[in-house]
């Protein structure tokens, strides 16, 4: 079985302007967002990333703007999960709301190219290349419910209100 | 149970006592979204099968981020907002009215004690009013437009006490930058910050807004300013923390020796005293943003530029709102700044977010009164952006290099 490939950028404070610069956010086209994702950090990223791949980052990932275009751009580019040491608050919430799983892992050994799988339910990240597993921080139940629904839109369509 | 300001406001909105760490569903007093976030919020609202707003009088849409429209794509997003506002009967602030946060405060759409959701990361600005303002994304906002509620985790609070009196040309922006350096860009992540002490309680509303606004750059969920000394044009009930409230951290500083502070590229936490940067060549200066372009900020710039001519660099000014512009017009401030050579652009975000109206060139060095200097923030990743107070921006624009106002 093949597992998603990790793309590792262990920089701290990778802000929303570097995930998707403000000049590209004024659109409702997801493909337009995807083509510029992370371009000021790594101009090759949007070409390298394959559907289902995993992005691995450092501390305070997604700090800065409240733009939902940041997780949307990553998701549209094919990223299936973001693993970071910590996330900035708004990004974390936005990602869950649009149905992009995010998981906080303090200690790991993941390098670019490693094959990775993520068990959100139990908060475990497995590195198949190195035969290692890493423990993730627990996610609030409210967020797991929203992720299960596929995002906040579906959650509210299902429930009609916050429950 | 002794409570922080956050715990008190959240308890009132959850209908039960709330303490830090609790996950609660709360009722919301008002929401706003801008042209950067409203289009996705409208899309999500429709996908949620939203037919009408929970309360159209409590919803504001603001066209400020790319205003007036720089191209047809943005023009169509603006049109989408106007059509939606007309259909739903909610408020719309069109081009030139001003920056979202300024308009919410100026028009009393947010008031002390409120819990307010803004689809913009600088919504903690409303902490200046002793209100709990949280920045959220478009989908969260859409959910509140539909239900009038949201869910959140009650944050722990960091208490910051600022004692002493500021020196000349030092104020809210400088101390905010200083605190971001002390706490770090994620130092207050998932937490609220309470600001108190005589240096805070003696601040004007405009300065309180600058301080609370910059709490976003510490990662804070909300930045609540002690309501002591808060001067508003309408009556209000202040919310004070209880004695013995539980704080995650307590920090105390004396501001009396603080020098003007500047954040270097590419992070608002990369802060040094002006003394380390004096003589840095500047190509372009900007006074704008929800942090610092209120009347007192324009006054500070005018004091520096009165009777002078800008010959070394270009200075762009985007007043925080039409009201600020009109007030500055009436009291002669605009004349002073314009005579000095400043270029005035539409009240709104202007070049702050790099969409249009003053993108810097490759290798250019910018000094600005805004709140963020991430790489590419003003629209060009090859430019360098330094953050400072309006007085330092004006003085540096005049000199063509970073200098302290006289
Ligand atoms: S002025 Fe700048 S920081 Fe403030 S809301 Fe507008 S883009 Fe955001």
> Please, which residues bridge with residue B62 across strands?
B34, B93
User: What's the B349 CA to ligand 1 centre distance in angstroms?
Assistant: 5
For residue A32, give how far its alpha carbon lies from the nearest alpha carbon of chain B (Å): 12
Q: What is the largest CA-CA distance in chain A?
A: 45
B40, B146, B186: residue with CB nearest A13: B186
The model's pLDDT over B102-143, given as tens digits with 9 standing for 90+, comes to 999 999 999 999 999 999 999 999 999 999 999 999 999 999
Task: State how far the Cα of B391 lies from the Cα of B345, in Å rounded to an integer.
Answer: 19
Task: State how far the Cα of B145 lies from the Cα of B51, in Å rounded to an integer.
Answer: 10
Residue-level pLDDT at A121 = 82
> Mean pLDDT over residues B84-108, rounded?
98
Local confidence band at A143 (pLDDT 50, 70, 90 cut-offs): confident
For chain B, the average pLDDT equals 97
Query: CB–CB of B131/B115 below 8 Å?
Result: yes
Local confidence band at B171 (pLDDT 50, 70, 90 cut-offs): very high
The model's pLDDT over B31-73, given as tens digits with 9 standing for 90+, comes to 999 999 999 999 999 999 999 999 999 999 999 999 999 999 9
| Listed residue (B8, B50, B25) closest to B243, CA to CA | B8
Positive or negative, the CA dihedral B138, B139, B145, B149 is: negative
Kindly report the CATH number that applies to the domain delimited by A6-159: 3.20.19.10
The model's pLDDT over A102-139, given as tens digits with 9 standing for 90+, comes to 999 999 999 999 999 999 888 999 999 999 999 998 88
Nearest residue on chain B to A152, judged by CA atoms?
Answer: B139
Please list the residue range(s) of chain B that carry CATH number 3.30.499.10: 5-253, 263-399
The model's pLDDT over B359-401, given as tens digits with 9 standing for 90+, comes to 999 999 999 999 999 999 999 999 999 999 999 999 999 999 9
Residue-level pLDDT at B115 = 98
The structure's pTM equals 0.95
Residue-level pLDDT at A142 = 85
The model's pLDDT over A42-97, given as tens digits with 9 standing for 90+, comes to 999 999 999 999 999 999 999 999 999 999 999 999 999 999 999 999 999 999 99
Residue-level pLDDT at B361 = 97
Instruction: Test B140 with A152 for CB contact under 8 angstroms.
Output: yes
Residue-level pLDDT at A163 = 77
Task: State how far the Cα of B111 lies from the Cα of B97, in Å rounded to an integer.
Answer: 20
Q: Ligand 1: residues within 6 Å at CB?
A: B 65, 99-100, 120, 122, 289-290, 349, 352-353, 370-371
- Taking the Cβ of residue B377 and every Cβ of chain A, the question of whether any pair is shorter than 8 Å is answered with yes
Joined together, the tokens standing for residue B54 give 């929970």
Task: State how far the Cα of B377 lies from the Cα of B383, in Å rounded to an integer.
Answer: 9
Instruction: Test A162 with B73 for CB contact under 8 angstroms.
Output: no
Task: State how far the Cα of B351 lies from the Cα of B358, in Å rounded to an integer.
Answer: 5
ipTM of the shown complex:
0.89
| B288: pLDDT strictly greater than 90 | yes
CATH superfamily of domain region B263-399? Aconitase, domain 3 (3.30.499.10)
| A1: pLDDT strictly greater than 80 | no
Task: State how far the Cα of A62 lies from the Cα of A20, in Å rounded to an integer.
Answer: 10
Query: CB–CB of B332/B340 below 8 Å?
Result: no
- The pairing of strands B261-263 and B271-273 is antiparallel
To the question of domain B5-253 being in CATH 3.30.499.10, the answer is: yes
Joined together, the tokens standing for residue B175 give 């101390």
The model's pLDDT over B100-111, given as tens digits with 9 standing for 90+, comes to 999 999 999 999
Task: State how far the Cα of B28 lies from the Cα of B142, in Å rounded to an integer.
Answer: 13
> Mean pLDDT over residues B354-362, rounded?
94
Residue-level pLDDT at B289 = 98
Q: Looking at per-residue confidence, does B312 or B238 come out higher?
A: B238
H or E, element range at B77: helix B72-88
Joined together, the tokens standing for residue B275 give 């003394």
Local confidence band at A140 (pLDDT 50, 70, 90 cut-offs): confident
Q: Is B262 helix (H, G, I), strand (E, B) or coil?
A: strand
Instruction: Test B379 with A17 for CB contact under 8 angstroms.
Output: no
> Mean pLDDT over residues B333-342, rounded?
98
Joined together, the tokens standing for residue A35 give 């083509």
**Which residues, in sequence order, are CB contacts of A8 under 8 Å at separation 6+?**
A56, A57, A110, A111, A112, A114
Residue-level pLDDT at B18 = 97
Chain length of chain A: 163
Task: Label residue B66 exposed, middle or buried (CB < 10 Å: 0-12, 13-18, 19+).
Answer: buried
Q: Is B182 helix (H, G, I), strand (E, B) or coil?
A: helix
Please count the other Cβ atoms lying within 10 Å of the Cβ belonging to residue A43. 10
Please provide the DSSP assignment of A60-110 as one string: SBT-S---THHHHHHHHHT--EEEES-B-HHHHHHHHHTT--EEE-SS---
| A2: pLDDT strictly greater than 90 | no
């Amino acid at each position: 079985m093949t597992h998603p490939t990790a793309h590792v950028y262990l920089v701290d404070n990778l802000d929303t302007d570097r995930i998707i610069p403000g000049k590209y956010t004024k659109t409702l086209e997801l493909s337009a967002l995807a083509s510029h994702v992370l371009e000021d950090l790594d101009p090759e990223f949007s070409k390298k990333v394959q559907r289902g791949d995993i992005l691995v980052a450092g501390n305070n990932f997604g700090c800065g703007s409240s733009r939902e275009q940041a997780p949307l751009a990553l998701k549209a580019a094919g990223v299936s999960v973001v693993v970071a040491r910590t996330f900035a608050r708004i990004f974390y919430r936005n990602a869950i709301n649009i149905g992009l799983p995010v998981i906080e892992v303090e200690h790991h050994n993941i390098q670019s190219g490693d094959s990775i799988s993520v068990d959100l339910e139990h908060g475990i990240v497995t590195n198949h290349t190195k035969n290692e597993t890493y423990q993730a921080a627990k996610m609030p139940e409210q967020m797991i419910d929203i992720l299960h629904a596929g995002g906040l839109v579906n959650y509210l369509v299902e429930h009609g209100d916050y429950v | 149970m002794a409570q922080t300001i956050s715990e008190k406001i959240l308890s009132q909105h959850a209908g039960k006592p709330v303490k830090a760490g609790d996950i609660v569903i709360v009722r919301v007093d008002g929401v706003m979204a801008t042209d950067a976030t409203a289009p996705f919020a409208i899309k999500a609202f429709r996908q949620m099968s939203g037919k009408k707003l929970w309360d159209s009088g409590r919803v504001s849409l603001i066209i400020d981020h790319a205003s007036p429209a720089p191209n047809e794509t943005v023009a169509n997003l603006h049109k989408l907002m106007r059509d939606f506002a007309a259909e739903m009967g909610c408020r719309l602030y069109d081009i030139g009215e001003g920056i979202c946060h300024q308009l919410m405060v100026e028009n009393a759409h947010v008031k002390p004690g409120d819990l307010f959701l803004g689809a913009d990361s600088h919504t903690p600005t409303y902490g200046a009013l002793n209100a709990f303002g949280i920045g959220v994304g478009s989908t969260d906002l859409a959910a509140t437009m539909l239900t009038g509620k949201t869910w959140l985790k009650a944050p722990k609070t960091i208490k910051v006490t600022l004692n002493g009196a500021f020196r000349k040309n030092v104020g809210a922006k400088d101390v905010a930058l200083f605190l971001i350096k002390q706490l770090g860009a994620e130092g207050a992540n998932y937490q609220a910050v309470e600001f108190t002490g005589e240096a805070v309680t003696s601040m004007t509303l405009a300065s309180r807004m600058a301080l609370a606004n910059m709490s976003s750059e510490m990662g804070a969920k909300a930045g609540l300013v002690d309501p002591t000394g808060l001067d508003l044009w309408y009556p209000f009930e202040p919310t004070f923390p209880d004695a013995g409230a539980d704080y995650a951290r307590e920090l105390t500083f004396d501001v009396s020796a603080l020098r003007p502070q500047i954040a270097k590229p590419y992070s608002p936490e990369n802060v040094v005293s002006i003394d380390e940067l004096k003589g840095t060549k500047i190509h372009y200066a900007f006074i704008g943003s929800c942090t610092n372009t209120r009347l007192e900020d324009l006054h500070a710039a005018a004091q520096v530029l009165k009777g002078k001519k800008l010959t070394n660099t270009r200075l762009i000014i985007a007043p925080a709102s039409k009201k600020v512009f009109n007030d500055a017009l009436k009291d002669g401030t605009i004349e002073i700044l314009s005579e000095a050579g400043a270029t005035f652009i539409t009240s709104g975000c202007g070049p702050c977010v790099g969409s249009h109206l003053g993108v810097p060139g490759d290798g250019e060095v910018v000094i600005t009164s805004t709140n963020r200097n991430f790489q590419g923030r003003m629209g060009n990743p090859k430019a360098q952006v330094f953050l400072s107070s309006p007085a330092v921006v004006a003085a540096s624009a005049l000199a063509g290099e970073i200098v302290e106002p006289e």
